Amino acid sequence: MENKKEFKTWLEDFNLSHPLVIAGPCSAETEEQVLAIAHQLKDSDVSIYRAGIWKPRTRPGGFEGVGAIGLKWLQKAKAETGLLMGTEVATAAHVKLALEHDIDVLWIGARTTVNPFAVQEIADALQNTDKIVLVKNPVNPDLALWLGGVERLYNAGIKKLGVIHRGFSTYEKTKYRNIPEWQIAIELQSRFPDLPLICDPSHITGKRTMIQEISQQALDLNYDGLMIETHIDPDNAWSDAAQQVTPDTLKQILDDIRIRQLTTEEGSFNTEMIKLRASIDIDDSKLLETLGHRMKIAEQIGALKKANNVAVLQNKRWNEILEKMIAEGSQKGLNEEFILRIFKAIHEESIAHQVKVVNS
């Protein structure tokens, strides 16, 4: 799929002076709840109202959505507020019902994006639709799988496409519900700059207290919009209570966000930027040289282990390195998660070099 300028056209049709904002409850719970939230959002920066009608749950027994009746509530909310309506679809049957109820925006969730068969069925059901269709990143950090979902929809004649970055699952405990892995979204953005990119800070953070921070970070990275879960009574929401904010809190978040310029023609800025980027380029070259030298040493260690019939992986030594690097990194203003990601990658590469020597 080559980059298409038409991807951005639907976004430009909104004629916004601010990022696109999609907001509403994680789940449609009752007609009264859906309407109350919609009315509180209608005079804000929100352009699209979102509400989950079908809720795929990780384990059975949880609230799995009100089903098709919720679509009628969305129709009523649109009639009363003028907001566009959006919901998640996971099957061709969901698509059929959503189209019958004239839902404006459909998105494919992370659990569905991971399954090309399911995405293809949805694409077939949406053939040549003029609705806006958004694709959330798959639960696992796989850019090709994410783009594959977009390509299947584009091949089905759907032109109003966009993607939602909601973070990626991990077995490790971090401060995030789903790790952002910003570099994956940035790579997608660099390859397809005209494909609208929307951030879902609610699912990245899992905590309402972090939504402002992640929203600002996304906009600093030139994202086109935000999808923020919003509820009139978040603490008593039927699903994902911890990550939802009130309409008033959402309005405050949007008021506090700073919109950055993409660039500036200011001469002093550009001159200083050229110098700073040159310094970065030099440091990057030094990093690669240092890493290459480190791997040469790792190969020597592998040869020594082979000669003495010693196992490659030494957990005690690895844990000592981690503790030392986390402590030293902290003194240099580097957070623990960053140090862990960097040195785990270095360690994996070092082990691979040693294994190659040992088995040669």
Of the candidates 122, 117, 121, 118, the residue with the CA atom closest to the CA atom of residue 106: 122
Condensed to tens digits (0 to 9), the pLDDT of residues 309-350 reads: 999 988 899 899 999 999 999 999 999 889 998 999 999 999
C-alpha dihedral over 291, 293, 297, 299, to 10 degrees? 80
**Residue 353 has which token pair?**
């070099």
Reported pTM? 0.81
Q: Classify 124 as helix, strand or coil.
A: helix
**How many CB atoms are located within 10 Å of the residue 108 CB?**
29
What's the chain's average pLDDT? Answer: 93
Of the candidates 37, 47, 75, 95, the residue with the CA atom closest to the CA atom of residue 227: 47
What are the residue boundaries of the structural domains of the chain, listed by start?
6-256, 267-358
pLDDT at 268: 83
DSSP 26-71: SB---HHHHHHHHHHHTTSS--EEE-BSS---SSTTS-----THHH
**Which listed CATH number (1.20.1440.120, 3.30.540.10, 1.20.59.10, 3.30.930.10) goes with 267-358?**
1.20.59.10
Torsion sign over Cα 134, 137, 139, 140: positive
- CA-only gyration radius of the chain, Å: 24
Condensed to tens digits (0 to 9), the pLDDT of residues 122-151 reads: 999 999 999 999 999 999 999 999 999 999
Strands 105-108 and 132-136: parallel
Q: Is the pLDDT of residue 59 over 80?
A: no
Report the CATH number of the 6-256 domain: 3.20.20.70
